[in-house]
Amino acid sequence: MTRFIALLMAVLLLLQCTPAPRYHYRDEPRKKSSRSKSSTKSREAAKEPPKTGNAPLLSINGSDSAIFTSSYYGKKFHGRKTSNGEVFNMYGYSAAHKKLPFGTVLKVTYLKTGKSVLVTVNDRGPFIEGRDLDLSYMAAKKIGLVRQGVGQVKVRVVKWGSDK
């Protein structure tokens, strides 16, 4: 009986050591973009945001911004690959968003403190209902979001990424 309990404990311990994926990836394989390079350049020249359906995600116009509910992630995912293939660095200035193109630079201002930080979107998420943006630990620390954990932030696009 003691051998069975020891074996059961060993199996349970090993199951706890397996890594869990940070985010769920798309169910469908990625489709190749039919956009030509000239259409991408003309969009950048006109400073138009990429569109999802009929509505833009955000506008790059300096007066346009959005209020997001933000959280942060850090130690548990430090050193793991992000959705765009980069290695996550909790001490870097990065963010996860469900739809914004990879490489998009955002100015994120925590409404409670008024402090701002520039981050680059390199991951997908957060996948917790009601949250719109996940910041790296260092970005959240710089604006004072770490203690609260979740808070309202004002987000403005500084530069659009290409989502390759």
18 confidence band (pLDDT: 50, 70, 90):
very low
DSSP secondary-structure letter at 93?
-
**CA torsion through residues 79, 108, 153, 101, sign:** negative
Asked if pLDDT for residue 31 goes beyond 60, the answer is no
Res 14: pLDDT: 61
Look at 10-14, 69-73, 96-100, 103-107 and tell me which has the smallest mean pLDDT: 10-14
Which range of 6-10, 85-89, 135-139 scores highest in mean pLDDT? It is 135-139
CB-based contacts of 106, cutoff 8 Å, min separation 6: 95, 100, 118, 119, 120, 121, 133, 155, 156, 157, 158
Cα 140 from Cα 157, distance rounded (Å): 17
Q: Which residues pair with 2 in a beta bridge?
A: none
In terms of pLDDT, which residue wins out, 95 or 75? Answer: 95
Domain ranges of the chain: 43-159
Whole-prediction pTM value?
0.63
Q: Which two tokens stand for residue 43?
A: 């969009």
Q: What is the mean pLDDT of residues 124-136?
A: 93
Mean pLDDT, the chain, rounded, equals 76
Half-sphere exposure of residue 4, counting CA atoms within 13 Å on the CB side?
Answer: 1
CB-based contacts of 119, cutoff 8 Å, min separation 6: 93, 94, 95, 105, 106, 108, 135, 136, 139
DSSP one-letter string for 94-125 = EEEESSSPTT-EEEEEETTT--EEEEEEEE--
The model's pLDDT over 100-129, given as tens digits with 9 standing for 90+, comes to: 999 999 999 999 999 999 999 999 999 899
CATH number for the region 43-159 comes to 2.40.40.10
